[in-house]
C-alpha cells in the first residue's frame, strides 16, 4: 500500500469493475466515493443478435471488428445459451480480427485467441486508418457496435471501399444509480467536496450530463468539473468530456488505457508539488 492519495476524495462512476477500481484507489490512500452511472445488460431483443451469430458461424465473415471486450463476451454468452458456442469459437479462429484498443484484445486472449490487426488508435478513426491498408473489396465484415452509436462513419467507410458490413449490437446501457444519487454527486462536486473524478467510459460522462440537464444543473456540473481533477481512461472518454467544455487533466500514456495506469497517473499528479492542477 502507498499513500500518494492520502486524504483525497475521488468519485468513481465505474460499474462493471467498480470494486477493483475502488480497491486500487484505496490502496493509495484515497477515499473512493462510488456512484455507478450505468449498468450493462444484454440486448433486450436477443433475436437480431442470435441471427447475426447464426450468420457468423457459417464461416462467411471475412473480418470482424471488435470495438469492446464487453461486446465479445456478450456475443460469446448468447452463443453459449443457444448452443452455438463451439461453432462461434471455430469461426472466430478463422476470421481476421480487428480490434479497437486493449480491451477486446484482452477478451480474445481469455478464449485463447489473439487480435490480427490492432487499430492505430483506440478510436473509430484508428480502426479506419488500419483498415485503409487492407484490400476490403468484396469482403464481409462483422462490426460489433457500441450502445447508442450506429457508427455510420465506420459503416460508410466500409461501403465506400467495397466491403459489406454486418453490424451487431449485443448489449445496452441502462441507468444504475438513481437520478437523486447522481444529482447529489453533482451538488457535492460544485461545492468542492471532492478532489477528483475518474471516468472509465464515455456513457458515464453522458449520464452525468443528462441528469444535470434534466434538473437544470448544467452550470453546477461545469463548476464542479473546474474545481476537481478530471481523469479519463483514454481518448474516447476524454473527447466526450471535452465536448462538454471540460478540461481533462489526466489520461494514461498511449497504449496503457487501463484502470491501473489511470490510478497511477492520478496518484502521480497529486504527488507532484503536493497537489494536482484542476485547471
Q: Report the run of H or E that residue 208 belongs to, with start and end.
A: helix 202-214
DSSP-derived secondary structure letter, 4? T
- The pLDDT assigned to 23 comes to 94
pLDDT of residue 80: 98
Q: Which of 272, 271, 262 is nearest to 233 (CA)?
A: 262
Query: Are both 9-37+176-274 and 41-173 of the same fold?
Result: yes
Does 172 have pLDDT greater than 70? yes
End-to-end CA gap in the chain: 29
According to DSSP, the β-strands at 9-12 and 196-199 are parallel
Average pLDDT of the chain is 94
Residue 272 carries which DSSP code? G
Q: Could you please state the CATH topology (level 3) that the domain comprising 41-173 is classified under.
A: Rossmann fold (3.40.50)
With vertex at residue 270, the alpha carbon angle to CA 1 and CA 15, rounded to the nearest 5 degrees, is: 70
Q: b/e per residue, 6-22, with b = 16+ CB within 10 A?
A: eebbbbbbbbeebeebb
Strand order in the sheet with 31-34: 31-34, 9-12, 196-199, 229-232
Quick one: pLDDT at residue 56? 98
Q: CA-based Rg of the chain, rounded to a whole angstrom?
A: 20
At residue 155, what are phi and psi to the nearest 5 degrees?
-60, -45
The C-alpha angle 129, 234, 185, rounded to 5 degrees, equals 145
Q: Count the Cβ atoms, other than its own, within 10 Å of residue 243.
A: 12
Q: Which CATH number fits domain 9-37+176-274: 3.90.800.10, 3.40.50.10090, 3.90.79.10, 3.40.190.10?
A: 3.40.50.10090
User: Does this model's pTM top 0.85?
Assistant: no
Dihedral sign from CA coordinates of 218, 219, 221, 226 = positive
Does residue 49 register a pLDDT over 90? yes
Record the cell numbers describing residue 264, joined without a space.
Answer: 497511477
Question: What is the mean pLDDT of the segment spanning 98-126?
Answer: 94
- Which three-class secondary structure state does DSSP give residue 186? helix
pLDDT digits (tens, 9 = 90+) for 235-258: 999 999 999 999 999 999 987 888
Residue 27: which of 263, 261, 272, 271 has the closest Cα?
A: 263
Residues 161, 184: Cα–Cα separation, whole Å: 49
In percent, how much of the chain has pLDDT > 90?
Answer: 87
Show me where the domains of the chain are located: 9-37+176-274, 41-173
Transcribe 4-15 into DSSP letters.
TTTT-EEEE---
pLDDT value at 274 more than 70: no
For residue range 174-213, list pLDDT tens digits in order.
998 999 999 999 999 999 999 999 999 999 999 999 999 9
Amino acid at each position: 500500500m502507498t499513500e500518494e492519495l492520502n486524504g483525497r476524495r475521488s468519485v468513481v462512476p465505474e460499474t462493471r469493475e467498480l470494486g477493483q477500481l475502488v480497491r486500487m484507489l484505496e490502496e493509495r490512500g484515497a477515499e473512493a466515493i462510488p456512484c455507478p452511472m450505468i449498468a450493462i445488460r444484454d440486448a433486450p431483443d436477443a433475436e437480431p443478435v442470435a441471427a447475426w451469430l447464426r450468420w457468423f458461424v457459417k464461416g462467411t465473415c471475412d473480418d470482424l471488428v471488435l470495438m469492446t471486450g464487453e461486446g465479445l463476451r456478450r456475443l460469446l454468452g448468447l452463443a453459449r445459451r443457444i448452443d452455438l458456442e463451439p461453432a462461434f469459437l471455430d469461426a472466430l479462429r478463422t476470421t481476421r480480427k480487428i480490434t479497437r484498443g486493449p480491451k477486446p484484445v484482452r477478451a480474445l486472449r481469455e478464449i485463447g485467441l489473439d487480435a490480427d490487426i490492432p487499430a492505430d488508435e483506440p478510436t473509430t478513426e484508428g480502426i479506419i486508418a488500419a483498415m485503409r491498408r487492407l484490400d476490403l473489396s468484396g469482403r464481409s465484415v462483422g462490426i460489433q457496435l457500441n450502445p447508442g452509436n450506429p457508427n455510420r462513419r465506420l459503416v460508410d467507410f466500409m461501403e465506400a471501399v467495397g466491403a459489406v458490413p454486418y453490424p451487431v449490437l449485443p448489449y445496452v446501457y441502462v441507468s444504475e444509480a438513481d437520478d437523486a444519487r447522481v444529482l447529489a454527486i453533482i451538488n457535492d462536486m460544485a461545492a468542492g467536496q471532492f478532489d477528483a473524478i475518474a471516468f472509465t467510459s464515455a456513457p458515464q460522462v453522458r449520464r452525468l450530463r443528462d441528469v444535470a440537464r434534466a434538473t437544470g444543473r448544467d452550470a453546477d456540473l461545469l463548476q464542479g468539473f473546474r474545481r476537481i481533477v478530471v481523469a479519463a481512461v483514454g481518448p474516447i472518454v476524454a473527447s466526450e468530456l471535452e465536448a462538454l467544455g471540460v478540461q481533462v487533466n489526466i489520461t494514461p500514456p498511449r497504449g496503457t488505457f487501463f484502470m491501473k495506469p489511470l490510478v497511477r497517473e492520478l496518484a502521480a499528479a497529486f504527488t507532484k508539488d503536493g497537489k494536482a492542477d484542476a485547471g
